[in-house]
Amino acid sequence: MKLQLPLKKDNLFAMPVLHYTLELACYIRRTLLAINPDCVAVELPCNCEEVFLHAAARLPDISVITLGGSHKKYFLAEPCDPIFEALRSSLECQIPAYCIDCDVNDYPFVDERLPDPYAITKIGLSAYYGAYRNTLAEKTRLPLDEKRELFMAKKLKELTLRYDRVLFIGGFFHVEKILSYFEKNCFPEDHLSPQKGTLSTLTEESCRDNLAEYGYLTSVYENWREDPASRFPNRQKILFDLYKQAGENYKKETGFTFSYHLNNLMKFSRNYALYSQKLTPNLFMILQAARGCVDHNYAYEVWKLATAYPYLKNIDNLQELPLTVDELWGASKKVIFNLKQKQKKGLQFSKRKKDLPHTQFQPPASFAICSYPPEDLAIESFGAFLKQKSLKLINDENRRVLPFFTSLEDGIDVRESLRHFYEKKLYVKIQRKPPAALGSVCVIFDEDKSEMAKEKFPWKTTWIGENSQESDMAFFATEMHQNVVGPGISRCQYGGFMLSYPPRRLWDVWTDPDYERCGSKAEVLLLASIDYCLDPLIVYVAKTPPKQWLKSYASRFGKKIFYIPIGGLSPNQLNQIRIFHVLEGKDKREIAGDYIF
């Protein structure tokens, strides 16, 4: 027989819940509005009922109810707890609400290994609770459990005599036992010890760490409460939005491009959750995924966004408690962020503010602008790195391994021989013709095709190397006046660039009529790389391989394009290379270090 929720006994309706769970809070909100009971009863100590109702009335602001003397006991009132959601909704609907549990000291903490509550959104609460019921026989029942259940059954019996429709919200473990005691006609006498609870709130820092459902998720729930007939909030979609928005903040704070695949972040966090026998990751797993897939700075942006809670107002000026996670929830894991920042040792001044509203970027002429030398060195080193990587890949392609027959060829391949040790054979390596020299380098971060409504990288120019150690360069980038970070200093971002060595040979490729047939900026740069390359090989880095007509064009001149997928390079390294600065003149190089982070 299919289990129907809420459970019903005469004029009593009972809803089993898991404490501090978003999905159960949604169910309680919807159930209370659907049943419209005459009163609501919840599983909270009755001797502090007034304090609990006050805490529920303050929601969505966070409250902490403190009970006990030397051994303090805390109750956290937050929107995603189904118990406090029941009190909050009943107050909003002007329905009488009661706390009917007895206060017991030294009740042990029980960590039940429950299925992930996210499953409720897929299979429904009835099926989820039905699966839980099958495990009740395996659980150990304490004497304090029976005391509490008899007490709550008695209180519910009294309420059903006063009201026609009573809705009870209690924990999964106790609800059905309470309903079985509800049939009794005689109950033990109450011996309640008078106890007064105190109401306070959390500091902003403590609130970030202590919400059972992190702040970003709770904010989504608050929006859902306004339309409870809509679909329940989906944790997976919320997590995707969190990662995406944190990526935008990461770009603003660091100036790096967030080129990481959100699918990788979602897959990492999902696998971590599955490894921990969960369907969805908790906040710790979310941060670990952000740190592992991107870096510590991005993980910090995720943490800031995930734990921000805009409803912490404290308009009634309650005492703010700086409680730690260990005080509220017990032992916990910690995440440490090692943020990347510029070394300040030896500097006799602090970095100036990056974005100054009064600064301008107005070069007297187009030939007056110049680059920042440390970034020139970085881009040249990156070009050299790409050439070395290409040579290694070409060498690997030209290398063959064969069993030894009559000749040692280019020597014994020890690794392959050990791998096939069971065959009792030696393997030798054959190195084909060594690769030719590498010349130009072309890197395309974003093709920015002309058919797009608005160009992301409208600035197109050609720079000539200042000395024999620098390459000529052509690139397309963001507008040079778009992001001014200091007096005569502007931050830009490459869409793509090409490097050609030796210097002082490159014409302005963007006005060259030979390149008018190209359909995109990326094709212009690659075609120029072929034309100005003095060596047989050109390195091309992009998301997609070069078109066939470009390969044919290169082969006409005895050249070859060696393609490297941009996804095979380090995103951190690409972010550092992609950002560059333009100065009004060479005199700005003396102060540029004060503004460039």
Q: How confident is the model at residue 360 (pLDDT cuts 50, 70, 90)?
A: low
Calculate the alpha carbon distances from 285 to 58, 293, 379 in Å.
31, 12, 36
Of the listed ranges 248-262, 456-470, 512-526, the one predicted with least confidence: 248-262
Mean pLDDT of 516-527: 92
Strand duo 472-477 + 459-463: pairing: antiparallel
Q: What is the pLDDT of residue 195?
A: 66
Contact 10, 160 (CB under 8 A): yes
Q: How confident is the model at residue 350 (pLDDT cuts 50, 70, 90)?
A: very low
Query: For residue 146, is it left (φ>0), alpha (ψ between -120 and 50) or beta?
Result: alpha
Name the token pair of 275: 């490894």
Q: What is the pLDDT of residue 354?
A: 46
Q: Where are the beta strands (DSSP E) in 363-437?
A: 370-371, 399-403, 427-431
Q: Quick one: 456 and 506 in the same domain?
A: yes
CB within 8 A of 50, min separation 6: which ones? Answer: none
Q: How many Cα neighbours within 13 Å face the side chain of 421?
A: 4
Cα distance between residue 395 and residue 390, in whole Å: 8
Q: What is the pLDDT of residue 385?
A: 92
Q: Quick one: 244 and 382 in the same domain?
A: no
Name the token pair of 482: 């778009």
Return the exposure string of 484-511: e unless at least 16 CB atoms fall within 10 Å of the residue's CB, then b. bbbbbbbbbbbbbbbbbbebeebeebbe
Cα distance between residue 368 and residue 227, in whole Å: 59
Q: Which amino acid is at 574?
A: L
Structural domain boundaries, residue 266: 230-329
The residue among 8 and 353 whose pLDDT is bigger is: 8
What average pLDDT is seen over the chain?
86
Q: How confident is the model at residue 287 (pLDDT cuts 50, 70, 90)?
A: very high
Cα distance between residue 545 and residue 402, in whole Å: 31
Percent of the chain clearing pLDDT 90 (strictly above): 47
Q: Which residue, among 152, 131, 53, has the nearest Cα to 97 in the 3D structure?
A: 53
Mean pLDDT of 349-370: 58
Is pLDDT above 50 for 522? yes
Number of domains in the chain: 3
Is pLDDT above 90 for 262? no
The alpha helices in 422-557, defined as continuous H runs, are 521-532, 548-556
Q: End of a domain among 309, 329, 349?
A: 329
Residue 451 domain-assigned? yes
Q: End of a domain among 181, 210, 239?
A: 210
Q: How confident is the model at residue 196 (pLDDT cuts 50, 70, 90)?
A: confident
Q: What is the pLDDT of residue 382?
A: 93
Residue 64 domain-assigned? yes
Q: Quick one: 239 and 372 in the same domain?
A: no
The residue among 410 and 11 whose pLDDT is bigger is: 11
Cα distance between residue 309 and residue 23, in whole Å: 19
What is the pTM assigned to this prediction?
Answer: 0.67
Mean pLDDT of 127-133: 87
Is pLDDT above 60 for 342? no
Q: Which amino acid is at 55?
A: A
| Adjacent-strand bridge partners of 111 | none
Q: Quick one: 110 and 241 in the same domain?
A: no
Q: Which residue, among 444, 434, 440, has the nearest Cα to 391 in the 3D structure?
A: 434
Q: How open is the CA angle 6-9-14, to the nearest 5 degrees?
A: 35
**End-to-end alpha carbon distance in the chain:** 67
Of the listed ranges 70-84, 365-379, 442-456, 500-514, the one predicted with least confidence: 442-456
Q: What is the pLDDT of residue 349?
A: 38
Is pLDDT above 80 for 313? yes
Q: Quick one: 289 and 376 in the same domain?
A: no
Percent of the chain clearing pLDDT 70 (strictly above): 89
Contact 181, 150 (CB under 8 A): yes
DSSP state of 93: T
Q: Quick one: 201 and 236 in the same domain?
A: no
Q: Quick one: 97 and 175 in the same domain?
A: yes
Radius of gyration of the chain (CA): 34
Q: How confident is the model at residue 572 (pLDDT cuts 50, 70, 90)?
A: confident
Q: Dihedral sign, CA of 514, 504, 469, 367?
A: negative
Mean pLDDT of 95-112: 79
Q: Quick one: 50 and 110 in the same domain?
A: yes
Contact 471, 500 (CB under 8 A): yes
Cα distance between residue 405 and residue 270, in whole Å: 51
Residue 338 domain-assigned? no
Mean pLDDT of 573-595: 89
Residue 544 domain-assigned? yes
Return the exposure string of 221-253: e unless at least 16 CB atoms fall within 10 Å of the residue's CB, then b. beebbeebeeebbebeebbeebbeebbebbbee
Q: Which residue, among 363, 382, 520, has the nearest Cα to 441 in the 3D structure?
A: 382
Q: What is the pLDDT of residue 460?
A: 93
Number of H helices, E strands in the chain: 19, 20
Q: Quick one: 450 and 555 in the same domain?
A: yes
Residue 271 domain-assigned? yes
Contact 97, 53 (CB under 8 A): yes
Q: How many Cα neighbours within 13 Å face the side chain of 535?
A: 16
Q: Quick one: 390 and 491 in the same domain?
A: yes
Q: How confident is the model at residue 344 (pLDDT cuts 50, 70, 90)?
A: very low
Residue 1 domain-assigned? no
Q: What is the pLDDT of residue 486?
A: 87
DSSP percent split of the chain into helix, strand, coil, nearest 5: 40, 20, 40
Q: What is the pLDDT of residue 281?
A: 94
| Adjacent-strand bridge partners of 508 | none
Q: End of a domain among 155, 181, 210?
A: 210
Q: Quick one: 385 and 496 in the same domain?
A: yes
- For 308, the 3-state DSSP assignment is coil
Strand duo 399-403 + 427-431: pairing: antiparallel
Q: Quick one: 502 and 576 in the same domain?
A: yes
Cα distance between residue 266 and residue 272, in whole Å: 10
Residue 356 domain-assigned? no
Residue 428 domain-assigned? no
Contact 201, 312 (CB under 8 A): yes
Is pLDDT above 70 for 258? yes
Q: What is the pLDDT of residue 338?
A: 80
